[in-house]
Amino acid sequence: MIAGIAESRFGDVPDATALELHQEAAALAVADAGLAKDDVDGLFSCGADLLHPLLLAEYLGIRPRYVDGTQVGGSAWEFFLHHAVGAIESGLCDVALLNYATTSRSDLKRKVRSANVAIEARGPAQFESAYGHTVIGRHAMAATRHMHEFGTTSAQLAEIAVQMRANASRNPLAMYRDPITVDDVLSSRLISSPLHKLDCCIRSDGGGAVVIVSEERARDLPKKPVWVLGAAEAISHHTMSEWHDFTESPAKYSAERAFAMAGVKPDEIDVLQVYDSFTITVLLTLEAMGFCAKGEGGAFVEGGRLTLDGSLPTNTDGGGLSSNHPGMRGLFLIIEAARQLRGEAEGRQVKDATLAAVNGTGGWFSSTGTLILGAD
């Protein structure tokens, strides 16, 4: 069960290092769980550093007896939670800490990193790199194909960005809170067709932490427990030409397994948190998870369904499109879902939320982890 959740400072944080933000979030989440630093005996983290989990454990001054550094992109946190539940059930650790942070926004301003990633043309990448792939372009290709097969429109994709912004307007910590319209999205710069600037996630600094403990510990904890009812993962491709269907997220498989484990159906979900690196990521995920039929995502997102007042409140903090996105955002999906189930989402609380679904997406629709979370 989820016992502790916290974010570090996020947004523009020019005066902190990434490791500092890791520790800041970890300390807050461990305190939130009513535990102390030395209770942590499982560490789950990945990042850009060489041997990242080792570096992080050293920085935090902990020597966990169980370590997992699975690196599958932004969905790693849903994979980690899946793994942590198994490790705790097997007695391999008692208190699992999921911990992440970057200063990717400040690093870009300091010019210590580039906006696009140069993937060296070795191994399978030698068949892609020379053609100028970008992360946005890889996602844009999915949008192009979805439009071709199902008639989905740019205006429908824009609806997603507009609704995430509407949710962000009720989150005082969100980076972008001023409402936007479909026209604003469509008239923003084309980055990689058919995706415009406002179809793309923001780039922020920031970190987060989640603490998982066993069921037996639940009664000793200060906060309302959030139960992990279902957890599953799925992987697809690394090289784009290996993706068999550009209109289908592997969430189809992870969600099917997670819902089955939880004994829950999509229409029972009160609040949804899904990876929104790009508007198309949300659309493919909604279809793959079974919230609507394949090909019907465009019509499904019209009419404000994803807003706090809609029938499927989604990314209630404003998501990566408007609130924060330090790079591998999956951890923040878990934090916001737990916050909603605890009834702690001030100003944006979904009334009587007892069932939440979370879906993280990594790479370029390469990996997904789905969680079904519940409150008593």
Question: Nearest approach, Cβ of 110 to other proteins (angstroms)?
Answer: 12
> Which residues make beta-bridge pairs with 102?
206
Nearer to other proteins, 101 or 136 (CB): 136
Cα dist from 225 to 184, 314, 361, 372, whole Å: 41, 21, 25, 14
Question: Nearest approach, Cβ of 102 to other proteins (angstroms)?
Answer: 16
d(CA 370, CA 232) in angstroms, rounded, equals: 5
Nearer to other proteins, 105 or 339 (CB): 105
Amino acid at 211: V
Helix (H) or strand (E) holding 156: helix 154-168
Question: Nearest approach, Cβ of 280 to other proteins (angstroms)?
Answer: 11
Terminal CA-to-CA distance of the chain, rounded, Å?
A: 12
Nearer to other proteins, 51 or 118 (CB): 118
CB of 195 within 8 A of CB of 340? Answer: no
Question: Nearest approach, Cβ of 363 to other proteins (angstroms)?
Answer: 15
Nearer to other proteins, 142 or 335 (CB): 142
Give the position of tokens 């829950």: 264
Binding site residues, other proteins, CB under 8 A: 113-116, 118, 120-124, 126-134, 136-137, 140-142, 144-145, 148, 189-195, 239-242, 246
d(CA 107, CA 324) in angstroms, rounded, equals: 15
Nearer to other proteins, 90 or 112 (CB): 112
Buried b (16+ CB within 10 A) or exposed e, 191-207: bbebbbebbbbbbbbbb
Question: Nearest approach, Cβ of 241 to other proteins (angstroms)?
Answer: 4
Question: Nearest approach, Cβ of 330 to other proteins (angstroms)?
Answer: 24
And the tokens for 210?
A: 């989640």
Nearer to other proteins, 90 or 241 (CB): 241
Nearer to other proteins, 61 or 131 (CB): 131
Nearer to other proteins, 123 or 172 (CB): 123
Question: Nearest approach, Cβ of 345 to other proteins (angstroms)?
Answer: 35
Question: Nearest approach, Cβ of 374 to other proteins (angstroms)?
Answer: 38
Complete edge-to-edge strand list for the sheet that includes strand 66-68:
2-7, 206-213, 95-102, 42-44, 66-68
Residues sharing a CB contact under 8 Å with residue 81, sequence separation 6 or more, in sequence order: 44, 98, 210, 212, 228, 231, 334, 369, 371
